[in-house]
């Protein structure tokens, strides 16, 4: 509920002020949608869609979309069978946001009618605000919208997942959604919708092939084989009626498997898996471990009863999804990826270039990386750039702030928990950040804030390359590279007993120290211009110029908040400026009138460096520069090297 409550407070502030207070919490797609809804003048307490088609126009809508309705219907029915009785509904909308198919329990459908969530109703952003249909219409990619992320207060108790359906030409033909009570949301719902939409996309391809070649007798078999999951149909007596190619490959099953007993072809040691199949209960997305070639492998298991014409159980449909693939889909959809690369890092100062060069070297290694530096120096951006430059770039990039999570929750966030581990734990348990970052990079922000007792567990995970969930017994292998960041002096923390020495040396394989902005004065004007250009493009403004007086003030300021503070100052100046030139009047008062005082030694060094730089850029020879400063040539060369000033 933490995310729910935080976003609710952000929503309240936004409705009252039009300002999103914490942009890092709200997904960008949601924030952009809220902004458009506000521009449209949509009532934030909207209860239903006001546009729906009837009569001839409704018939035309359904006729236009007959192909996507016919193809999607079996998949919608299949999805509905998984959550029947849970209060969730499955629906299909066309590319414009008109609902063209809905399926749910009778009482839920009655609620849908009251809100005009019915066939023929329009649920795009301009009419029905931010919702699971409108967000996919705009973004054209799979997304999940949770409770308070809806623009309308009326829908804050609901959660929805949607994915686009595309034809072979890449055109969006529809949107598949699952929508229901927030408190009953399942972490795998988005993955299910994505998998179903992907199967429907494949179905489009197959249907075109069938029409062209008129091979109608292979229709069902081709669809089954196009599903990326392993699928097996088993009779009540345990005989295999059908298994697709993915099932045969992943479970090492023989080619001609039809009619064989499943217990005879599944490797020994899988009694738990076989007992679930033979039970009378259905399961959905249950995590199971299956032994293959004497090695355990993790799957998500969905097992549903097959009924005959008289609703009598005749067998089970078994669907196995490799948990690695499920994680990849979920990470891709929820944004567990690194957005920044080294191309996004500006700076020409010699120390900045040295830091970039060192970080690029670190990216090419398999070693853990420790990024040290003050707040605002760009540690997280460098972490993302290192990931994107490494051989793990295609894997997930998961970041966790060790200082932002309550002490009692950080272990479950990192290592996950098993079902029944504690009161309120999810059915089937929950994956931690280590599992979600398997095959990629885990960024441990503010590692210096991690509780001492948890540091021992982290050390064990790093050494063993495996985790055991809280309350669990199974050892789960994880292939994760650690990038840790901190603004603390970890050596001093080790001396004080606040940080484990052995963990420090495990992390301190490749250390990179971030340079404070005050020590790179020559880059301030460059960075200010870079941020101005970037934000002008984002806001759709003309290119913004920075007045020379502003540059002088920015260069003379000490920047205790470093690059992040500079970026915020430029963004504020652009926001309040009425022209395409940032003047002194647009700067915050604390920078314009009362610059932060620098440390005296830092100030003197900065002045000395600036004087050296100006003299070296003049027409004077090195001998004349040394005489002017009343120092020897050797001392001059030493100072030039210290301050990173070229002297060739």
Domain end, chosen from 476, 493, 513, is at: 513
Mean pLDDT of 395-405: 87
| CATH number assigned to the domain comprising residue 193 | 3.30.450.40
Mean pLDDT of 385-411: 88
Confidence of residue 336 (pLDDT cuts 50, 70, 90): low
Quote the domain boundaries for residue 288: 228-322
Domain end, chosen from 494, 513, 532, is at: 513
CA distance to 27, 38, 124, 128, 588, per residue, from 50 (Å): 27, 17, 11, 8, 45
**What's the pLDDT at 599?**
47
| pLDDT of 389 strictly over 90 | yes
195 closest CA partner among 232, 243, 231, 241: 231
Selected residue with higher pLDDT from 118 and 633: 118
Phi first, then psi: what are they for 60, rounded to 5°? -65, -40
Confidence of residue 106 (pLDDT cuts 50, 70, 90): confident
| pLDDT of 410 strictly over 70 | yes
Task: Quickly tell me which residue has 């996507």 as its tokens.
Answer: 68
CA atoms within 13 A on the CB side of 101: 24
**What's the pLDDT at 436?**
86
Please tell me whether residues 85 and 181 are part of one structural domain.
yes
Selected residue with higher pLDDT from 270 and 598: 270
Please tell me whether residues 352 and 424 are part of one structural domain.
yes
* Residue 448 structure tokens: 């210096």
**What's the pLDDT at 427?**
67
Please tell me whether residues 508 and 536 are part of one structural domain.
no
* Residue 296 structure tokens: 């355990």
Domain end, chosen from 463, 497, 513, is at: 513
Instruction: Give the chain's mean pLDDT.
Output: 85
| pLDDT of 301 strictly over 80 | yes
Distance, in Å, from the CA atom of 408 to the CA atom of 208, rounded to the nearest integer, reads 54
Confidence of residue 595 (pLDDT cuts 50, 70, 90): very low
**What's the pLDDT at 600?**
44
* Residue 148 structure tokens: 């308070």
Mean pLDDT of 211-237: 72
Query: Rg for the chain (alpha carbons), in Å?
Result: 30
Answering whether pTM is above 0.75, one says no
User: Which has the minimum average pLDDT: 189-193, 278-282, 562-566?
Assistant: 278-282
CA atoms within 13 A on the CB side of 104: 24
Confidence of residue 173 (pLDDT cuts 50, 70, 90): very high
The separation between CA 497 and the C-alpha centre of its own chain, rounded to angstroms, equals 35
**What's the pLDDT at 193?**
92
* 3-state SS class at 501: helix
Please tell me whether residues 386 and 424 are part of one structural domain.
yes
**What's the pLDDT at 262?**
84
| CATH number assigned to the domain comprising residue 447 | 3.40.50.300
Q: Is 4 part of a structural domain of the chain?
A: no
Please tell me whether residues 542 and 449 are part of one structural domain.
no
| CATH number assigned to the domain comprising residue 309 | 3.30.450.20
Mean pLDDT of 489-499: 90
Please tell me whether residues 506 and 524 are part of one structural domain.
no
CA distance to 280, 443, 509, 606, per residue, from 506 (Å): 49, 15, 6, 36
Q: Is 13 part of a structural domain of the chain?
A: no
Selected residue with higher pLDDT from 3 and 151: 151
Confidence of residue 577 (pLDDT cuts 50, 70, 90): confident
| CATH number assigned to the domain comprising residue 565 | 1.10.8.60
Distance, in Å, from the CA atom of 620 to the CA atom of 626, rounded to the nearest integer, reads 10
Confidence of residue 425 (pLDDT cuts 50, 70, 90): low
Please tell me whether residues 286 and 379 are part of one structural domain.
no
**What's the pLDDT at 323?**
72
Please report which helix (H) or strand (E) contains residue 306, including its range: strand 295-307
Q: Is 612 part of a structural domain of the chain?
A: yes
| pLDDT of 294 strictly over 90 | no
CA distance to 51, 456, 508, 530, per residue, from 433 (Å): 43, 17, 21, 34
Tens-digit pLDDT profile for residues 249-274: 888 788 888 888 888 887 777 788 88
Please tell me whether residues 361 and 507 are part of one structural domain.
yes
Tens-digit pLDDT profile for residues 177-214: 998 898 887 778 888 899 999 999 988 887 777 666 65
Q: Is 220 part of a structural domain of the chain?
A: no
The dihedral sign for the CA sequence 615, 621, 622, 626: negative
- For the purposes of burial, counting CB atoms within 10 Å of the CB of 145, is it exposed (0-12), middle (13-18) or buried (19 or more)? buried
Please tell me whether residues 50 and 199 are part of one structural domain.
yes
* Residue 99 structure tokens: 């609902």
Q: Is 303 part of a structural domain of the chain?
A: yes
Please tell me whether residues 91 and 172 are part of one structural domain.
yes
Mean pLDDT of 71-88: 89
Please tell me whether residues 308 and 351 are part of one structural domain.
no
Q: Is 1 part of a structural domain of the chain?
A: no
| pLDDT of 531 strictly over 70 | yes
**What's the pLDDT at 326?**
58
| pLDDT of 426 strictly over 80 | no
Confidence of residue 167 (pLDDT cuts 50, 70, 90): confident
Distance, in Å, from the CA atom of 431 to the CA atom of 414, rounded to the nearest integer, reads 8
Query: For the chain, how many structural domains are there in total?
Result: 5
**What's the pLDDT at 597?**
45
Q: Is 415 part of a structural domain of the chain?
A: yes
Mean pLDDT of 140-147: 92
Mean pLDDT of 451-463: 90
**What's the pLDDT at 57?**
94
Work out the number of other CB atoms within 10 angstroms of the CB of residue 609: 19
């Amino acid at each position: 509920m933490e995310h729910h409550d935080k976003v609710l407070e952000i929503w309240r502030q936004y409705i009252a002020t039009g300002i999103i207070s914490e942009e890092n919490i709200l997904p960008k797609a949601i924030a952009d949608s809220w902004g458009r809804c506000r521009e449209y003048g949509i009532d934030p307490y909207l209860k239903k869609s006001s546009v729906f088609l009837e009569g001839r126009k409704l018939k035309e809508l359904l006729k236009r979309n007959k192909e996507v309705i016919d193809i999607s219907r079996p998949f919608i029915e299949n999805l509905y069978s998984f959550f029947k009785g849970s209060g969730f509904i499955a629906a299909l909308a066309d590319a414009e946001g008109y609902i063209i198919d809905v399926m749910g329990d009778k009482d839920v459908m009655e609620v849908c009618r009251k809100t005009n969530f019915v066939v023929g109703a329009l649920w795009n952003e301009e009419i029905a605000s931010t919702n699971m249909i409108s967000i996919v219409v705009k973004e054209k990619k799979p997304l999940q919208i949770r409770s308070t992320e809806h623009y309308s207060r009326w829908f804050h108790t609901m959660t929805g997942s949607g994915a686009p359906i595309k034809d072979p030409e890449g055109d969006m033909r529809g949107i598949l959604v699952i929508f229901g009570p927030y408190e009953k949301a399942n972490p795998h719902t988005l993955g299910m919708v994505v998998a179903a939409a992907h199967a429907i996309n494949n179905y489009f391809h197959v249907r075109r092939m069938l029409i062209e070649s008129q091979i109608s007798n292979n229709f069902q078999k081709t669809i089954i084989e196009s599903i990326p999951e392993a699928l097996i149909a088993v009779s009540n007596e345990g005989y295999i009626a059908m298994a697709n190619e993915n099932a045969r490959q992943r479970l090492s099953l023989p080619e001609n498997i039809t009619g064989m007993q499943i217990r005879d072809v599944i490797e020994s040691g899988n009694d738990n898996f076989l007992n679930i199949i033979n039970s009378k209960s259905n399961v959905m997305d249950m995590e199971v471990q299956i032994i293959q070639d004497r090695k355990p492998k993790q799957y998500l298991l969905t097992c549903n009863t097959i009924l005959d014409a008289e609703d009598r159980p005749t067998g089970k449909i078994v669907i196995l999804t490799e948990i690695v693939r499920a994680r990849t889909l979920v990470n891709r959809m929820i944004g567990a990826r690194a957005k920044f690369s080294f191309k996004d890092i500006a700076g020409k100062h010699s120390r900045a270039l040295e830091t970039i060069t060192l970080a690029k070297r670190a990216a090419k290694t398999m070693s853990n990386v420790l990024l040290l530096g003050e707040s605002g120096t760009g540690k997280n951006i460098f972490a993302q750039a290192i990931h994107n430059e490494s051989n793990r770039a295609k894997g997930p990039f998961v970041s966790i702030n060790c200082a932002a999570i309550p002490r009692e929750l950080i272990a479950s966030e990192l290592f996950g928990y098993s079902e029944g581990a504690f009161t309120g734990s999810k059915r089937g348990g929950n994956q931690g950040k280590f599992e979600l970052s398997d095959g990629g990079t885990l960024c441990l922000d503010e590692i210096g804030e991690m509780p001492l007792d948890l540091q021992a567990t982290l050390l064990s995970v790093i050494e063993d390359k495996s985790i055991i969930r809280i309350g669990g017994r199974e050892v789960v292998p994880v292939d994760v590279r650690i990038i840790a960041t901190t603004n603390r002096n970890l050596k001093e923390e080790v001396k004080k007993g606040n940080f484990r020495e052995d963990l420090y040396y495990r992390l301190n394989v490749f250390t990179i120290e971030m340079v404070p902005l005050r020590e790179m004065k020559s880059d301030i004007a460059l960075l200010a211009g870079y941020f101005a250009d970037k934000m002008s493009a984002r806001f759709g403004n003309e290119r913004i110029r920075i007045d020379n007086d502003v540059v002088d003030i920015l260069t003379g300021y000490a920047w205790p908040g470093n690059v992040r503070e500079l970026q915020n100052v430029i963004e504020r100046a652009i926001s309040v400026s009425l022209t395409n030139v940032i003047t002194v009047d647009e700067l915050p008062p604390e920078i314009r009138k009362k610059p932060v005082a620098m440390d005296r030694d830092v100030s003197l060094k900065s002045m000395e460096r600036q004087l050296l730089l100006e003299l070296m850029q003049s027409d004077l020879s090195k001998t004349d520069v040394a005489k002017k400063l009343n120092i020897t040539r050797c001392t001059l060369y030493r100072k030039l090297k210290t301050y990173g000033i070229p002297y060739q």
